[in-house]
Every structure is written in structure tokens, then in C-alpha cells.
Amino acid sequence: MDANRIWARIDFLGAFGGLWFGIAARDALSAAFGWATIVNVAALAYVGQKLGFSVSAGQGWSQVLFYAAICFSVGVAIAFAVNLAFVSHFKAYRELRPLALGIRNNLRSPDFVCNNTARGYNASVTVTNRSSRHLLDCVVHILNAPQVDGSIRPRFVEKFDLPPKSTRTIFIAYWFSRQLPNSDDPAVNLSGPVGAGFGGNRSAVSSGSVLQVRVAAPDVPTKHIGCTVCIDNQQRLLRTTAMKLNTLFEV
């Protein structure tokens, strides 16, 4: 492991630790006015009865406020300990690594159905924002897309914004089946902007090809996912299967 990766890991651990404790403290203050205080009041009432003291209407306000302050403080401590041990580290990790990707299989395009004479099927990637931040300018590329000139280069697919705790479906490839005498598409077409002229910036891959998809957003780690796109000639549809990427296409 080189020095840059070591320092990056140290920076991540520092940011993770700060978020871990910060989220635990924030959630503890919120819970102190809810379940934590209720549990603590019940526990203190039980313990007080065993020890021979309790709070009643005949006592002075100073004693009542003192008892309430104890309940609130202990409630905050209980909520902080619970969140620190079981909850806040998950939230902290999702704040630092907000993007989660998935593969959707056999998703038919609603825009590509023409009286059942031509049906379009899409390979798609789901992009989920697991954080509380609004992610702006998210960009999707297919890294190993064949170009018109025969080269292999990244192909731009889509740019979008992603609100907190939301998921967006990105179509990365499509295929058409058609009724006779028209023939089905011979290859899987890749999504992305097209251009005028011969070729029109279109790009296609053969059945069984592996696509490497990259999703990037400012100030968050980039995510990659791989999938295999296959034409099922018997069922006449497009099948997409997630694949683990051992190596990434060098951009």
C-alpha cells in the first residue's frame, strides 16, 4: 500500500470518527425528549421506590426540576450509548460513502412499445443516495464502450441530481424485439447522446458483453459496477446480470 492510500485511509478514519460521535450526540439529544427519557423515568421511579424516595405533587418545584434534570441527563447518556454502539456508525459510513449501485434485469421501456409490434428492453443501474446530503451533478459513464472509430473509451450516459434517501434508475443499454417480417436487433445498443450524420454517435456491443459502469459525484467517492448484457433469443428479451469487477478499465 503506497503513501497516498495510507493518508487517504487515515483521513477517512478521522472523518468517520468525527461523524460517528457527532451523529450519536445529535440523535441522543433528539431521543432524550422521547423514548430515552420515558425509559429513564420508569427506571428511576422503580429504583426510587426501592430506595424509599419518590416525587409527588406535594414536593417543591426545586425537587421536581432536579428530578427532571436527572431524568433528562441520564436519558441523554443512555441514548448516546445506544446510538454510539448500534446506530451511528452505520449512518456515518453512509454519509461518507453515500452512493450505492444495483442492477435491474429485464426492465421494459414504457416509451418503446409500439402496438406490441416492437418491444424495447433496457439494462439499467439503480443509483441510491444513502446520505442526508443533496448530491448535485452526478455523472454516469460506461467505461468500456466501443466508439464509431473502433476505439474503446468511456461513453457519457446521463447527468442528474440525487436528493437525500432517494433512488434513480439509469438506463445504460437497450434492445428491441420485433414482429416478423422485421428482425430483432442483432446487438445491444448503449444509451447515451446521439449525434447527426452517419453513425450518429451510436454504440453497440454483442450479446454476452460485460459493461463497466462508473457513477461519480463531486466530493464523494466514485462507485463502479459491472454487468453482463445477454440477448435471450428464445424468450426474445434482454437479460442483465450483475458481475464483480476484478479489474477496472483504464481511462
pLDDT tens-place string over residues 134-163: 999 999 999 999 887 788 899 999 999 999
| 248 occurs within a structural domain | no
74 and 176 share one domain: no
Q: What is the C-alpha separation between 247 and 35, in angstroms, rounded? A: 48
11: in domain: yes
Q: Does residue 193 sit in the same domain as residue 80?
A: no
| Residue 112 pLDDT greater than 70, yes or no | no
**Tell me, what's the pLDDT at 54?**
59
Q: Is residue 249 part of a domain?
A: no
Average pLDDT of 33-48?
Answer: 62
Asked if the structure places residue 68 within a domain, the reply is: yes
113 contacts: CB under 8 Å, gap ≥ 6: 119, 120
* 53 band by pLDDT with thresholds 50, 70 and 90: low
Cα(69)–Cα(71) distance, rounded to whole angstroms?
5
Tell me what pLDDT residue 80 has. Answer: 81
Q: Is residue 119 part of a domain?
A: yes
pLDDT of residue 23: 77
Which of 36, 67, 94 is the last residue in one of the domains?
Answer: 94
Span between the terminal Cα atoms of the chain, in Å: 22
* Last-in-domain residue among 77, 94, 111: 94
Adjacent-strand bridge partners of 224: 214
In this structure, the answer to whether residues 219 and 138 fall within a common structural domain is yes
Q: What is the mean pLDDT of the chain?
A: 80
Band (251; pLDDT cuts 50, 70, 90)? very low
Last residue of a domain, one of 94, 110, 128: 94
Return the higher-pLDDT residue of 170 and 22: 170
Q: The domain spanning residue 129 has which CATH number?
A: 2.60.40.10
The answer to whether residues 125 and 223 belong to one domain is: yes
Q: Is residue 25 part of a domain?
A: yes
> How far apart are the C-alpha atoms of 51 and 211, rounded to whole Å?
69
Q: Which three cell numbers stand for residue 114?
A: 409500439
Together in a domain, 7 and 64: yes
Is 158 found in the same domain as 50? no
Domain check: are 80 and 112 in the same one?
Answer: no
Q: What is the pLDDT of residue 38?
A: 65
Mean pLDDT value of segment 30-58: 61
Domains identified in the chain, total number? 2
| Residues 122-137 pLDDT 10s | 999 999 999 999 999 9
Determine, yes or no, domain membership for 86. yes
- pLDDT at residue 240, as a whole number: 92
Asked if residue 104 and residue 89 are part of one domain, the reply reads no
Q: 130 and 225: one domain?
A: yes
Dump pLDDT digits (tens) for 186-222: 999 999 886 555 556 788 899 999 999 999 999 899 9
**Do residues 23 and 39 share a domain?**
yes
The range of the structural domain enclosing residue 203 comes to: 98-243
- Average pLDDT for 28-32: 71
The backbone torsions φ and ψ at residue 233, rounded to the nearest 5 degrees and listed phi first, read -70, -25
Same domain, yes or no: 64 and 122: no
Is 137 in the same domain as 231? yes
Is residue 150 domain-resident? yes
